[in-house]
Amino acid sequence: MNVALLVEKLGWHFEAWLQALSKRSDVDKVFLSDPSRYNLDMVRRYLGDKLVAVYDSPQALFQENEVEITIVDTAPFRTPDMVQASLEAGVSVIVEKPAATSPEAYAPLVELADSKGLLLAISLMETPAVREAIKIVAEGQLGRIYNIQCLISDHQRWRIRDQMDWVFSKEKTGGGMLGHESVTYSTICLASLDRT
């Protein structure tokens, strides 16, 4: 599988994505679009020879390569353009939350993905708990799942505020740090199940 990573400066979980990709035997090639080059050393450290090329724009990456999936992890004010470039290239997208600064900025991306029959998904990191949940669901232990909602706690962003200054900007995130915390300050995971 070939993967496109679209990022500029530091995203919410970019290092965790690199860790996950480095452990996957089904990932053959990774192409990075990072005009800032901020993440290049970290990407090389985790992915080694899997990192094939680095680009200054998503458009250049997609013009020269065929990829199966795109991961977008950057500031919400940058995210919609990156997602749109991937969808226009015919590639499905996993995007970090928040994926835009407003619902109005994200809605056209949903429509574009739907019109092309592509996946546009908000990510849930591949933690041990997520892997176990995937196993339980795949084995049919819970019956047919028709809804899952998950909220995860995160209160550590202030520690890297110099690297992620966009987190504290209402204009760049749509709500700033308080908006992020209001969504994620919980460890509750709810699932609605149909056991028939």
Q: What residue numbers bound the domain in which 138 lies?
A: 128-194
Residues 113 and 165 both lie in one domain: no
The residue count for the chain: 196
Residues 147 and 100 both lie in one domain: no
Higher pLDDT, residue 163 or 48: 48
Residues 117 and 142 both lie in one domain: no
Q: Could you give the 3-state DSSP secondary structure of residue 187? A: coil
Residues 15 and 111 both lie in one domain: yes
Count of structural domains, the chain: 2
Distance CA 196, CA 20 (A): 34
- What is residue 188's predicted lDDT score, i.e. its pLDDT? 40
Q: Point out the domain boundary residue: 101, 122, 143.
A: 122
- What is residue 192's predicted lDDT score, i.e. its pLDDT? 44
How far is the CA of 17 from the CAs of 7, 36, 63, 131, in angstroms? 11, 18, 23, 14
Please state the separation of Cα 80 from the chain's center in Å. Answer: 12
Distance CA 113, CA 87 (A): 6
Mean pLDDT of 61-69: 97
Is the pLDDT reported for residue 167 higher than 70? Answer: no
Is the pLDDT reported for residue 159 higher than 60? Answer: no
Higher pLDDT, residue 187 or 66: 66
Is the pLDDT reported for residue 68 higher than 90? Answer: yes
Q: Point out the domain boundary residue: 66, 98, 122.
A: 122
- The residue type of 71 is I
Is the pLDDT reported for residue 191 higher than 60? Answer: no
Task: Return the residue matching tokens 């530091």.
Answer: 10
Residues 102 and 14 both lie in one domain: yes
For residue 190, name the pLDDT band (cuts at 50, 70, 90). Answer: very low
Written as one string, the DSSP assignment of 94-128 is EEPSS-SSSHHHHHHHHHHHHHHT--EEE-----H
Tell me whether residue 23 is exposed, middle or buried, using C-beta atoms within 10 angstroms of its C-beta: 0 to 12, 13 to 18, 19 or more: exposed
Q: Which segment of 33-37, 80-84, 95-99, 115-119 scores lowest on mean pLDDT?
A: 95-99
Higher pLDDT, residue 126 or 93: 93
Residues 132 and 98 both lie in one domain: no
Query: Domain holding 79: CATH number?
Result: 3.40.50.720
Higher pLDDT, residue 69 or 100: 69
Query: 58 preceded by cis ω (within 30°)?
Result: no
- pTM for this model (two decimals): 0.72
Residues 8 and 29 both lie in one domain: yes
For residue 29, name the pLDDT band (cuts at 50, 70, 90). Answer: very high
Distance CA 184, CA 187 (A): 8
Average pLDDT of the chain, as a whole number: 81
Contact criterion met (CB below 8 Å) for 167 and 173: yes
